[in-house]
A and B are shown apart, each in its own frame.
Chain A
Amino acid sequence: MNNVFVYCELEGKQVVDVSLELLTKGRVLANQLGVELECICIGSDLAGIEKQVSPYGVDTIHVFEAEGLSPYTTLPHTSAIVNLFKEEKPQICLMGATVIGRDLGPRVSSALHSGLTADCTQLEIGDFDMKVKEGDQLVDKHYEKQLYQIRPAFGGSIIATIVNPEHRPQMATVRDGVMQKSIVDANYKSKIVRHDVAKYIPTTDYVVKVIERHVEKSKNNLKGASIIVSGGYGVGSKEGFDKLYELAKVLHAEVGASRAAVDAGWVDHDRQIGQTGLTVRPKLYIACGISGQIQHVAGMQESSMIISINNDPEAPINKIADYVIVGDIEEVVPKMIKYYKKEE
């Protein structure tokens, strides 16, 4: 009871990275709270699933295995979780901020009337004080060991810490790559609970049918790239990005982009770096014409070295950069290519 739960998302038979990252975070939170870590796996072929998740320190694995539970559709997965939570009363539930997590999380939170915070960048445990209505009076109430759900908000101009003191579970989604996965013990022993699916999921839930599904491996390797050349609104146009691709090619780097450049239609969405895109940790991050709103910085601040090229010397990103080049991208990038070729 009152444990930390993680919903494990599957792509085929594989538990996706973000779920393993959340198991790692969930283990840390469970230790701080002195409770256990449990996870939920829902699908149609889950044989051996424990081999993938146990090493992350999962105490109990809840398995819901039946035809029709894969590929994911909203209603059956919602019912499994909601009905399980009515019995287990978890204090925390974490999900990936993936298309699935962002479809499922709000549905579950609405059914349980619990708070849900999207796209958290940090999760911590701490106390909270609040005035609460008791009868006609407002009294101070102290809540211990709450989940701090920390996320940039309002276009990334502020960082908000959210708590849900009166409702359980405290639910949060986190983007892929924001947390880091780490194995606790390759031989960690988990208890496996196989649930009677029909008891949890009414047959009327199987109303949405997936007719066709195309999933391609990511066209870029931004997550694993050691050098990233990234462009923002200051790049100015789709053509402007051609120069960035050229620099990236020379440096064996990947091209990323800020949200503003993606919204402008200059770059594919799958190259967006930031709170609502990818989180990256390259050796070198070259930010071209990126002002550095926190929503972007949240996704790249752990880069080992940062170069900022911007004609605004006051651009916020310059503060976290190792090299600041004040100048036009069209002038600087070709020079970088030229001198790299010469010096190499």
Chain B
Amino acid sequence: MNYKIVVLAKQVPDTRNVGSEAMTPEGTVNRAALPAVFNPDDLNALEQALRLKEANPGSTITMLTMGLPKAIEILKEGLFRGVDSCYLLTDRALGGADTLATSYSLAQAIRKIGKFDIIFCGRQAIDGDTAQVGPQIAQKLDIPQVTYVEDILSYDDKKVVVKRHIDGGTETVEAPLPLLLTINGSAAPCRSRNAMKVIKYKRANTNIAIDAMSDEEKAFFKTRPYLTINQLGAAEIDADPNQIGKQGSPTNVKAVKSIVFKAKENKTLTSSDEDIKSMMSELIASNAI
């Protein structure tokens, strides 16, 4: 069967190792100092999509992201690995969205992109760790979901059988198409870029950016339509203004505070034999160990 596959991905600040260079003197995080990366679980999702496409010639992968204009970087990473076409959903009106408003915007964009059989997304994004957007999109598109997927075991034109992670074990689940899968970080890692595809797609850009180019450049892109990434905004996805951005977000941030640990009185020791020996004696004497 030819599957119409959609991959959802997010560009995120790399929060995995917030080093001292990313901290402001006030002790808060300087987000701008963190590198923007392809969300790790979304790379696992992309790999599953690529495998399904390869095993089923004629299948196509459309990749969609919502974010700042610079999120085009991760779409290109998709093209470099075998994605066929891309959509960049970017609009100030969509900013400040919580997971619910985000899932509404993405569901609207998916409707705009057209018919699909299977949607792949990462289990969760490292900047929020909520794991909510995937299931919320499935609900809005009125399709089933299977979350925490580690592997696709079999498939036909009506259903897929997947292995998923559950608390303390695994589960094998059969689910009908169309379907949304969220892929766990324990699934197969994503392949690296394909050198030929990097050459082919390195100049890929959005239709908006291309429109602003010189006639000569426009002509170049016209002869290579595969280089055009479709940019969408709130108007293009027929978004209800009450359901997007901050306005469409039920959750409000009441307060944010940086962490200040309440300092305890402590003993500072060195790694000398003497120090370690006396600490161990104290711990034994106090029945701590």
Q: Please give the residue numbers on chain A whose beta carbons come within 8 Å of chain B beta carbons, in ascending order.
A: 11, 71, 73-75, 78, 98-100, 102-103, 105-107, 109-111, 113-119, 128, 130, 148-149, 152-167, 207-218, 227, 233, 251, 259-260, 263, 269, 275-276, 283-284, 292-294, 297, 305, 307, 313, 316, 318-328, 331-332, 335-336, 339-340, 342-344
Contact = CB atoms under 8 A, between A and B. Distances in A.
A3 to B, nearest CB: 19
A154 B100 contact: no
Contact of A313 (B127, B135, B267, B268): B268
Contact of B103 (A75, A110, A207, A233): A110
A326 B16 CA distance: 24
Main secondary structure of the interface of B (DSSP, over half): mixed
Contact of B132 (A116, A211, A212): A116
Given A106-B99, A154-B29, A115 B249 contact: yes
Given A208-B174, A215-B168, A106 B276 contact: no
A103 B147 contact: yes
Contacts of A102: 131-132, 147
Contacts of A166: 250
A162 B277 contact: no
A318 B266 contact: yes
Interface size range on B against A: 35 or more
Given A323-B267, A343-B281, A106 B29 contact: no
Main secondary structure of the interface of A (DSSP, over half): mixed
Contacts of B135: 74, 103, 105-107, 110
Interface of B: 13, 15-18, 23, 28-29, 31, 98-100, 103, 126-136, 138-140, 144-148, 161, 165-176, 186, 249-259, 261-264, 266-271, 273, 275-277, 279-281, 283-284, 288-289
Given A211-B174, A217-B168, A75 B271 contact: no
Given A103-B135, A321-B264, A162 B251 contact: yes
Contacts of A116: 99-100, 130, 132, 251
B156 to A, nearest CB: 15
Contacts of B289: 227, 251, 284, 340
Given A99-B148, A106-B99, A110-B100, A130 B280 contact: no
